[in-house]
C-alpha cells in the first residue's frame, strides 16, 4: 500500500481475484474464468432495462443489452481480465437496486443501502465511478426524509474510510495523473463529442420510428431553451480549446482533427453533443446534475479516452435519461441502433487488423 507508483486505480479487483486460490496461481485459468464471468454483464444490464422499460418487448431489450458484447472496450477488457469489467459489474448491480428503489417510490430503504454498497465497490475498482454518488445523494436529498438521509450518509461515510486511508498512502490515485494535456472547458467539448457518438443512433432511430410525423419530430428535437443553454456552454468553452497530442480524444477528435484537420466539424459535433445530452436529460435537478457530471468528470487535465465512456455512458444514458423519449426510440423498432453499433464494431476491427 502506497509503494506501487504505477497503481492508478484502487486495488479491489486485484484483491478479490488474488484471494481465489484456484485462479491466482494460473494466469491462463484466471483469464478463462474471468472471460466467462464477463459474459454475465449484458444479463445484469438487461435486468436493469426490464425494470425501467416494462412495456417494451423483452427480446428488443435483450438485443440492446447484448450490444455490450461488441463494444471494443468490453472485448479487450474481457480477454485481458482487467478491472473495467469488474467495476461495471458492481455498478450495474448498484443501479439495479437503485431502480428497484425508484419503482417502489423509495419506500424500502434497504435497497438504497445495497445500491450504495455496490456503487462503492465500483468506485473502489475504478475511482471515476465516484461521480455517480453526487447524483445519487442529490436524488436522496430530494426524496428521503431527514432520518433516512442521515442513515444512508453515515453508511456511505463508513464505506469511504478505507478509500480515504488508501488515498493518504497513495496520493497518486488522485493527484498523480494530473497533467496539462487539456483544460476544463476543452474536456467538456471532448467529453460531449464522445457522448454524441453513442447518442447518434438513438436520434436516427427516433426519426425512423416517427417518419410519418417528420415535421413534428423536427419541432420536438428543436428546443429553444436547450439550444441557448447549449450555445452558452459551448461558447464559454470554445475560445480556450486545447488538447495536446494524438493520444485519446475520442473517435470524432481523431477523425476530424488528427486525420482531416477539420476543427470546425469537430466543434459542431461537440455542440450537438452538449445539446442532445441536455435534450435527453430528465427535467429534474438531480438528472441535470448527472448530465453536468458526465461532461465535467474527466477534466483533470489528463488524456481523455473513449474507453472511459464505453459502455458506461451507453448504460447511464439508457437507465437514467428521459424514459419517454428513449421509449420512442426502442419500442417500435431498434434496427438502426443495432446496425450502427455493428458497423462501429466492424470498422474498429478493420482498422486494428490492417493497422490503419
Mean pLDDT of the chain: 90
Tens of pLDDT, residue by residue over 185-233, are 999 999 999 999 999 999 999 988 887 777 787 888 899 999 999 999 9
Whether residue 283 lies inside any domain: the answer is: yes
Three cell numbers written together for 300? 483533470
92 close to 129: Cβ distance less than 8 angstroms: no
Whether residue 159 is found in the same domain as residue 209: no
Bridge partners of 182, per DSSP, are 243
Percent of the chain with pLDDT over 90: 67
Q: What would the mean pLDDT of 102-118 be, rounded to a whole number?
A: 95
Whether residue 224 lies inside any domain: the answer is: yes
Please name which of 100, 95, 88 lies closest in space to residue 41, comparing C-alpha atoms.
88
Q: What would the mean pLDDT of 345-354 be, rounded to a whole number?
A: 81
Where do the H-state alpha helices sit in 108-247? 110-125, 131-143, 146-169, 184-209, 214-221, 224-237
Whether residue 31 lies inside any domain: the answer is: yes
> Which one of 147, 176, 205 terminates a domain?
176
> Which one of 176, 192, 225 terminates a domain?
176
What pLDDT is attached to residue 2? 47
Please name which of 6, 162, 11 lies closest in space to residue 87, comparing C-alpha atoms.
11
Whether residue 215 is found in the same domain as residue 345: yes
Whether residue 111 lies inside any domain: the answer is: yes
174-207 burial code (b ≥16 CB/10 A, e <16) = eeeeeeebbeebbbbbbbbbbbbbbbbbbbebbe
Whether residue 151 is found in the same domain as residue 266: no
> Which one of 176, 193, 227 terminates a domain?
176
65 close to 45: Cβ distance less than 8 angstroms: yes
22 has pLDDT over 70: no
Whether residue 117 is found in the same domain as residue 243: no
Whether residue 27 is found in the same domain as residue 169: yes
Whether residue 140 is found in the same domain as residue 238: no
Whether residue 230 lies inside any domain: the answer is: yes
355 has pLDDT over 80: no
Tens of pLDDT, residue by residue over 135-174, are 999 999 999 999 999 999 999 999 999 988 888 887 777 6
- Domain holding 13, by residue range, is 1-38+82-176
What pLDDT is attached to residue 274? 97
What pLDDT is attached to residue 85? 95
Residue 17 buriedness (CB in 10 A; 0-12 / 13-18 / 19+): middle
Tens of pLDDT, residue by residue over 295-326, are 998 877 678 999 889 999 999 999 999 999 99
Q: Cα separation of 225 and 231, whole Å?
A: 10
Whether residue 257 lies inside any domain: the answer is: yes
> What is the total count of domains within the chain?
2
Whether residue 245 is found in the same domain as residue 203: yes
Between the alpha carbon of residue 336 and those of residues 4, 142, 222, 224, the distances in Å are 46, 37, 21, 27
270 has pLDDT over 90: yes
281 close to 287: Cβ distance less than 8 angstroms: yes
Residue 16 CA from chain centroid, whole number: 24
Q: Is the dihedral of CA 5, 77, 184, 318 positive or negative?
A: negative
Q: Cα separation of 102 and 86, whole Å?
A: 25
Max intra-chain CA distance, the chain: 63
The SS3 assignment for 311 reads coil
Between the alpha carbon of residue 301 and those of residues 59, 186, 202, 241, 244, the distances in Å are 42, 9, 30, 12, 10
Q: Cα separation of 182 and 270, whole Å?
A: 15
The count of C-alpha atoms lying within 13 angstroms of the C-alpha of 45, restricted to the half-sphere facing its C-beta, is 26
176 has pLDDT over 70: no
Residue with cell 475498482: 125
Whether residue 193 is found in the same domain as residue 95: no
Whether residue 105 is found in the same domain as residue 169: yes
Whether residue 279 is found in the same domain as residue 323: yes
Whether residue 45 lies inside any domain: the answer is: no
Q: Cα separation of 38 and 27, whole Å?
A: 16
What pLDDT is attached to residue 88? 96
Whether residue 349 lies inside any domain: the answer is: yes
Whether residue 142 is found in the same domain as residue 234: no
Q: Return phi, psi of residue 210, to 5°.
A: -130, 35
Whether residue 115 is found in the same domain as residue 189: no
Amino acid at each position: 500500500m502506497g509503494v506501487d507508483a504505477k497503481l492508478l486505480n484502487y486495488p479491489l479487483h486485484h484483491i478479490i481475484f488474488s484471494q481465489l486460490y484456484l485462479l491466482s496461481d494460473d494466469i491462463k485459468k484466471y483469464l478463462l474464468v474471468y472471460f466467462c464471468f464477463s459474459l454475465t454483464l449484458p444479463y445484469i444490464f438487461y435486468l436493469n432495462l426490464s425494470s425501467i422499460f416494462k412495456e417494451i418487448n423483452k427480446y428488443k431489450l435483450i438485443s440492446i443489452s447484448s450490444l455490450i458484447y461488441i463494444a471494443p472496450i468490453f472485448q479487450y477488457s474481457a480477454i485481458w481480465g482487467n478491472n473495467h469489467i469488474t467495476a461495471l459489474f458492481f455498478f450495474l448491480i448498484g443501479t439495479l437496486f437503485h431502480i428497484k428503489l425508484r419503482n417502489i417510490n423509495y419506500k424500502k430503504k434497504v435497497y438504497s443501502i445495497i445500491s450504495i454498497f455496490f456503487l462503492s465497490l465500483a468506485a473502489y475498482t475504478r475511482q471515476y465511478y465516484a461521480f455517480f454518488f453526487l447524483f445519487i445523494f442529490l436524488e436522496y436529498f430530494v426524496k428521503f426524509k431527514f432520518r433516512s438521509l442521515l442513515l444512508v450518509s453515515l453508511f456511505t461515510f463508513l464505506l469511504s474510510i478505507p478509500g480515504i486511508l488508501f488515498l493518504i498512502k497513495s496520493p497518486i490515485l488522485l493527484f498523480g495523473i494530473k497533467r496539462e494535456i487539456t483544460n476544463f472547458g476543452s474536456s467538456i467539448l471532448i467529453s460531449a463529442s464522445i457522448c454524441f457518438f453513442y447518442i447518434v443512433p438513438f436520434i436516427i432511430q427516433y426519426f425512423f420510428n416517427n417518419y410519418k410525423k417528420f415535421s413534428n419530430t423536427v419541432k420536438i428535437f428543436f428546443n429553444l431553451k436547450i439550444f441557448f443553454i447549449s450555445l452558452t456552454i459551448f461558447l464559454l468553452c470554445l475560445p480556450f480549446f486545447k488538447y495536446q497530442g494524438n493520444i485519446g480524444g475520442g473517435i470524432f477528435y481523431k477523425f476530424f482533427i488528427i486525420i482531416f484537420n477539420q476543427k470546425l466539424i469537430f466543434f459542431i459535433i461537440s455542440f450537438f453533443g452538449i445539446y442532445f445530452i441536455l435534450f435527453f436529460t430528465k427535467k429534474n435537478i438531480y438528472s441535470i446534475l448527472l448530465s453536468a457530471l458526465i461532461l465535467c468528470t474527466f477534466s483533470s487535465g489528463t488524456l481523455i479516452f473513449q474507453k472511459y465512456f464505453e459502455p458506461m455512458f451507453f448504460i447511464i444514458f439508457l437507465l437514467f435519461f428521459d424514459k419517454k423519449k428513449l421509449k420512442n426510440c426502442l419500442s417500435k423498432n431498434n434496427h438502426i441502433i443495432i446496425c450502427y453499433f455493428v458497423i462501429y464494431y466492424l470498422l474498429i476491427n478493420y482498422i486494428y487488423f490492417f493497422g490503419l
